[in-house]
Amino acid sequence: MTRVLAIANQKGGVGKTTTAVNLAASLVHLGKRVLLVDLDPQANATMGAGVDKSKVDATVYSLLIGQAPIADVVVKSENGGFDLLPANRDLAGAEVELVEADARESRLKTALGEISGNYDFVILDCPPALNLLTLNGLVAADAVMIPMQCEYYALEGLSDLVNTLRRVKQNLNRRIEIEGLLRTMFDPRSTLAQQVSDQLVKHFTSKLYHTVIPRNVRLAEAPSYGRPILAYDKTSKGAQAYLQLAEELLARHNPVDAAQPV
């Protein structure tokens, strides 16, 4: 069964794209077939996967406005080992162009329906806004992963996201659930980070991934080489953390599968 996972948080810079790209590559490393979907006009996931956004013929934009079939949009990330639906600046226009369109929130879901059977996981990298693009992601998804930094304002805005998810669940997608909150860019030497993390553990217990992604400069460097961390520095703490996250994800959904040696 295909699992569609949206990586969402309307805050920018919390590690959504880093998580989307590296989780995708880590799942491939563990033998899974993965499709990564770049839903952000900034196209950071596209570039981070080693695909030049200025050279792609068709993008998620073409897909959403019905200009190209999904088979014409899929490209391969050689560095990541996964398939990619790329983005570029055009995607920013989709918001406006779809205002009057039929079923504008479920365009991605419909498109993915044609090929999702080819994959074990479809990972959606959402933009930093609760806009129509994110909505398309939430309607297509089985579950949401929410990356967050352990800082003072981390929880602010979370209620907006939770309310949006509630509305989506009521009106558009009954399946959707919050799969988990992911602590990103964690610095164990920071007392504040530790305190916020303790609070998250207290409030969200089962919804919090055990895996914590540390602040790691190698994770920040890798995108400029168009490489997921596994193809850049496999031994780094960042690479190990994202592999652990992928294992945790598999263990949650398929305990037998996760027990297989890598």
Residue ranges in contact with ligand ADP by CB under 6 A: 12-18, 44, 128, 184-185, 213, 215-216, 219-220, 223, 238
Partner in contact with 107, chosen from Mg ion, ligand ADP, none, beta carbon below 5 to 8 Å by kind: none
Tell me which H or E stretch contains 121: strand 121-125
Whichever of 133 and 176 has its CB closer to Mg ion, that residue is 133
Q: Are 16 and 147 in contact (CB under 8 A)?
A: yes
* 137 Cβ contact partners less than 8 Å away, ≥ 6 residues apart: 6, 8, 37, 39, 108, 124, 126
Whichever of 15 and 86 has its CB closer to ligand ADP, that residue is 15
* CA distance from start to end of the chain: 21
Q: How far is the CB of 161 from Mg ion (least distance, A)?
A: 15
Partner in contact with 18, chosen from Mg ion, ligand ADP, none, beta carbon below 5 to 8 Å by kind: ligand ADP
Q: How far is the CB of 79 from ligand ADP (least distance, A)?
A: 16
Whichever of 97 and 221 has its CB closer to ligand ADP, that residue is 221
DSSP-derived letter for residue 215 is P
Neighbouring C-beta atoms of residue 163, cutoff 10 Å = 11
153, amino acid identity: Y
Q: How far is the CB of 40 from Mg ion (least distance, A)?
A: 5
Q: How far is the CB of 52 from ligand ADP (least distance, A)?
A: 18
Residue number of the CB closest to Mg ion reads: 17
Whichever of 36 and 250 has its CB closer to Mg ion, that residue is 36
Whichever of 17 and 46 has its CB closer to Mg ion, that residue is 17
Task: Report the interface residues with Mg ion, using CB under 5 A.
Answer: 16-17, 44
223, amino acid identity: P
* 81 Cβ contact partners less than 8 Å away, ≥ 6 residues apart: 25, 28, 29, 34
